[in-house]
Amino acid sequence: MEKILVIDDERPIRSTLKEILEFENFKVDTAEDGKQGLEMILGNKYDLILSDIKMPKMDGMEVLDALIEKGVDTPVVMISGHGNVETAVEAIKKGAYDFIQKPLDLNRTLVTLRNALDRKEIVKEVKKLKRKVSKGKITEIIGESAPILDIKQMINKVAETDARVFITGGNGAGKELVARQLHEKSPRAKQPFIEVNCAAIPSELIESELFGHEKGAFTSAHKQRKGKFELAEGGTLFMDEIGDMSMAAQAKVLRALQEHKITRVGGDKEIKVNVRVLAATNKNLRKEIEDGNFREDLYHRLNVIPIHVPSLNERREDIPLLVNHFLSIICEDQGVAIKTVSETGMTALQDVNWTGNIRELRNVIERLVILCDAEITAEDVTRYANPK
């Protein structure tokens, strides 16, 4: 059920609109002035706001200005008296969706509200599509701590080369982000960036995933298929969680790195490949080598330039920057005003044991945005950061 807020200092208008809109199956809240209305908007999520222009304490234009300043993109329809039409037009120029004039016409009011809600859905879909389009693109590495500054400096030095880079660090620490920056800052930036998660693919399928297969190579091979090496031609192949790769696949990867050639599963034709390989793992590959689970020669082929991504617990001074970054993104995605974190709230976030690293922090910030008021407090962090 869509939720509408009516802000008007005239009780009869508030009551009439509430009655009509509830009859049309909307959920309706009311506020008697702009100040109360703004407080309700910042503490709740509305699909539409109906606001009178002339009100005590805070008028409709001031409400609109505050919403724009705080990044709230909920559509606003202004209610104007005869003497406020020019002001209503000014409000539309600022970002209001439309205005309806007093005395209110029922049919025009409902049509305007429906159109505003339809537009809101269109805007939401456009944002969703833009996020999908930009999902794989580079995102800045957030942080100013010494280890992060070292990583940024290393990326700037190494990106211009074709040297293989071996990225280590815990789950959720940001290894993929380092790989993407290496690609985006390289001469291969306009070519494909192909990622393969070696831990997510069954051992019997990893070779087909990396090198492709010919038609009939195995039971479900109904047609020829290119593998990740071929798809990354001219660009970068990022092999994540390479420590989980089978020994048979490791041997073929080693050959591909040595000879710059691959052979599809079920085929005998050698295919030349021009690919820069980046690899990452959360495992201790030295120990995996000792245990006979990883080839030492492949390890040395991959480990030309080592980059270790620190855990979030090792870079707590970066947490405020990360928190504000995620707040901005998540509040926009949720369509709510940008929320803030109190000083004690930020200290509480810095004191959390972040075993899931940045991925866990982002999830917690999303939880806090959804469940908390305009300002996130230390009590909120204690309650929601590590729920039992």
SS3 177: helix
Higher pLDDT, 88 or 371: 371
Shared fold status for 3-132 and 146-308:
yes
Distance CA 227, CA 235 (A): 14
Q: What is the dihedral of CA 376, 381, 385, 388, to 10 degrees?
A: -130
Which run of H or of E encompasses 304? Answer: none
Instruction: Report, as an integer, the average pLDDT of 92-97.
Output: 88
Share of the chain above pLDDT 70, in %: 96
82/272: higher pLDDT:
272
Residue 73: per-residue pLDDT: 82
Mean pLDDT confidence for 201-228: 85
297-312 average pLDDT score: 96
pLDDT at 57: 86
d(CA 96, CA 73): 10
Q: Report pLDDT digits (tens) over 252-280.
A: 999 999 999 999 988 889 999 999 999 99
Mean pLDDT over 49-67 rounds to 91
Spell out the domain ranges in the chain.
3-132, 146-308, 313-384
Helix ranges restricted to H, the chain: 11-23, 34-43, 60-69, 85-94, 106-134, 146-158, 175-184, 203-211, 228-231, 247-259, 285-290, 296-302, 319-334, 343-351, 357-371, 378-384
* Architecture of the domain defined by 146-308: 3-Layer(aba) Sandwich (3.40)
Nearest to 187 by CA among 119, 235, 117, 255: 235
pLDDT value of position 119: 85
Looking at residue 88, what is its pLDDT?
A: 80
Task: Please check the confidence at residue 134 and state whether its pLDDT lies above 90.
Answer: no
The two three-digit tokens of residue 291, written as one number: 């245990």
DSSP 184-204: HTSTTTTS-EEEEEGGGS-HH
Whether pTM > 0.75 for this model: the answer is: no
Residue 324 backbone phi and psi in degrees, to 5? -65, -35
Q: Which of 129-138, 154-163, 265-274 has the lowest mean pLDDT?
A: 129-138
Cβ–Cβ under 8 Å, residues 33 and 57: yes
pLDDT, position 195: 95
**Separation of alpha carbons 166 and 155, rounded Å:** 12
Q: Which residues of 211-227 are buried (b: 16+ CB within 10 A; e: fewer)?
A: bbbbeebeeebeeebeb
End-to-end CA distance of the chain: 31
pLDDT at 158 exceeding the cut of 90: yes
Residue position matching structure tokens 């230390």: 378
Q: How does residue 83 score in pLDDT terms, banded at 50, 70 and 90?
A: low
pLDDT at 138 (0 to 100): 45
- What is the predicted pLDDT for the residue at 132? 56
Whether the CB-CB separation of 381 and 348 falls below 8 Å is answered with yes
Q: Average pLDDT in the 238-262 region?
A: 93
**Pairwise CA distance, residues 243 & 241, whole Å:** 5
The predicted structure's pLDDT at residue 188: 96
Pick the CATH number of 3-132 from 3.40.50.2300, 3.10.20.30, 3.30.930.10, 3.40.50.300: 3.40.50.2300
Is 70 exceeded by the pLDDT of residue 245?
A: yes
> What is the β-pairing status of strands 165-168 and 193-197?
unpaired
Whether pLDDT at 136 is above 50: no
Match domain 313-384 to its CATH number in 3.40.1260.10, 3.10.129.10, 1.10.8.60, 2.40.50.140. 1.10.8.60
Helix (H, G, I), strand (E, B) or coil at 169: coil
Mean pLDDT in residue range 332-359: 91
| CA distances in angstroms from 159 to 3, 88, 309, 310, listed in the order given | 50, 53, 16, 20
User: How confident is the prediction for the chain on average, in pLDDT?
Assistant: 90
> Over 90: is that where the pLDDT of 293 sits?
yes
Residue found by looking up tokens 């004039």 in the block: 101
Q: Is 254 helix (H, G, I), strand (E, B) or coil?
A: helix
